Amino acid sequence: MLKAIIFDMDGTLFRTETILERALDEAFERLRREGQWQGATPIDTYRNIMGMPLPVVWETLLPHHETAVREATDAYFLTRLVENINNGNGALYSGVIALFERLNNMGYTLFVASNGLIPYLEAIVSHYGLNRWVTETYSIEQIDTLDKGDLVAQIVAKYDIQDGFVVGDRLSDILAAKANGLIAIGCRFDFSQDDELKQADHIIDGLAEIPDILATRHVSR
């Protein structure tokens, strides 16, 4: 039977803050030039909602703007994120590559399920060569409901996963695990919130702790 681990991307594998502020400020500078925004870039507000689907993000950051403005800003923000990744301005969390190699040797099949959009995820996977270990990367764009539980369910159904883990830093990851009968590993990283993490089955402060958790949990073969 497949031994699977499904990873979130932002704030779990990829240190989003390394490109986030730059790309967000570029997007809001564009809004300022167009007379659509005054004042500072709302970076703190965005940090509080990291991990939410982007339509929700822009409804929160631009609550009084028309849908067309939000969509245009979203598209520009995405291009800036991808360009920053391709220019080498981003970074993975410490130990990602070593962890993936070890999990591969342990016989685990790895997936990514993210609220990020497809071009953004493809840029990260390509730039860092993660497809050497990741079987398939899933974006919330692939699910009409924009519900991460439904996204994980798609992976579970396609690969007949009956036991496994979801690793992520936000409540959506934890709930997605529980909705699909999987074990939730919460990451106490940059964007995590303690009140959300307490609902996880395990909490880690670094990715290197994952193999120890796997050693104590017997995933059916």
Over residues 151-187, the pLDDT tens digits come to: 999 999 999 998 899 999 999 999 999 999 999 999 9
Distance, CA of 165 to CA of 171 (rounded, Å): 14
Residue with tokens 């995590």: 192
Q: Are 7 and 187 in contact (CB under 8 A)?
A: no
User: How much is the pLDDT for 48?
Assistant: 82
Taking CA atoms, 197 is separated from 106, 128, 191, in Å, by 26, 28, 11
Q: What would the pLDDT profile of 44-73 be if each residue is shown by its tens digit?
A: 898 888 767 788 899 999 999 999 999 999
Distance, CA of 168 to CA of 174 (rounded, Å): 7
Distance, CA of 167 to CA of 99 (rounded, Å): 13
User: How much is the pLDDT for 218?
Assistant: 55
pLDDT at 217 over 80: no
Name residues whose C-beta falls within 8 Å of residue 136's C-beta, 6 or more positions apart in sequence: 111, 112, 155
- The CATH classification number of 17-86 equals 1.10.150
Q: What is the CA radius of gyration of the chain?
A: 17
Domain ranges of the chain: 4-15+92-216, 17-86
Q: What would the pLDDT profile of 81-140 be if each residue is shown by its tens digit?
A: 999 999 999 999 999 999 999 999 999 999 999 999 999 999 999 999 999 999 999 999
4-15+92-216: which CATH number, 1.10.3720.10, 3.40.50.1000, 2.60.200.30, 3.30.1370.160? 3.40.50.1000
Q: Are 111 and 176 in contact (CB under 8 A)?
A: no
Q: What would the pLDDT profile of 4-45 be if each residue is shown by its tens digit?
A: 999 999 999 999 889 988 999 999 999 999 999 999 999 989
Residues of the chain above pLDDT 90, percent: 85
- Three-state SS at 183: strand
Nearest to 167 by CA among 123, 116, 111: 111
Q: What does pLDDT average to over the chain?
A: 94
Six token digits for residue 36: 């659509």
